[in-house]
Amino acid sequence: MKDTTKHLGLRKKLAESLKNKGIEDVRILKAIESIPRHLFLDSSFEAHAYQDKAFPIGAEQTISQPFTVAFQTQLLQLLETDRVLEIGTGSGYQTAVLLEMKTEVYSIERQHELFRNAKRMLPKLGYHSVSLFFGDGYKGLPEKAPFDKIIVTAGAPEAPKTLLSQLKIGGRMVVPLGVETQVMTLYIRTGIASFDKQTFGDFRFVPMLGDRN
Whether residue 146 is preceded by a cis peptide bond, meaning omega within 30 degrees of 0, is yes
Chain residues 36-65 in contact with ligand SAH, contact rule CB under 6 A: 57, 61-64
Cα–Cα distances (Å) from 191 to 107, 114, 124, 145, in that order, read 25, 36, 40, 16
Please report whether residue 67 would count as binding ligand SAH according to CB under 6 A. no
Sole binder of ligand SAH in the list 25, 33, 46, 136 (CB under 6 A): 136
Residue 90 engages ligand SAH in binding (rule: CB under 6 A): yes
Rg, C-alpha atoms of the chain: 16
- Annotated active-site residue 64? The verdict is yes
Helices (H), 101-173: 112-124, 161-165
Helix (H) or strand (E) holding 13: helix 5-20
Question: Is the bond preceding residue 56 a cis peptide, omega within 30 degrees?
Answer: no
How many residues sit close enough to ligand SAH to count as binding (CB under 6 A)?
25
Choices 5-13, 28-36, 82-90, 184-192; region in contact with ligand SAH by CB under 6 A: 82-90
Any contact of residue 188 with ligand SAH (CB under 6 A)? no
Smallest gap from Cβ 34 to ligand SAH, in A, equals 16
Q: Read off the DSSP letter of residue 206.
A: P
Using CA atoms of 53, 46, 41, 21 in order, give the dihedral in degrees to the nearest 10. Answer: -30
110 binds ligand SAH (CB under 6 A): yes
CB of 161 to ligand SAH, least distance (A): 14
- Should residue 147 be labelled a site residue for ligand SAH when binding is judged by CB under 6 A? no
Q: What are phi and psi of 175, to 5 degrees?
A: -145, 130
* Least separation in angstroms between CB 191 and ligand SAH: 27
Q: Cβ distance 35 to 18 under 8 Å?
A: no
Instruction: Say how far apart CA 99 and CA 95 lie, in whole Å.
Output: 6
Judged by CB under 6 A, the stretch of 132-140, 162-170, 171-179, 187-195 that binds ligand SAH is 132-140
- CB of 109: closest distance to ligand SAH in angstroms? 5
Catalytic option among 43, 44, 64, 91: 64
- Point out the residues that are catalytic: 64
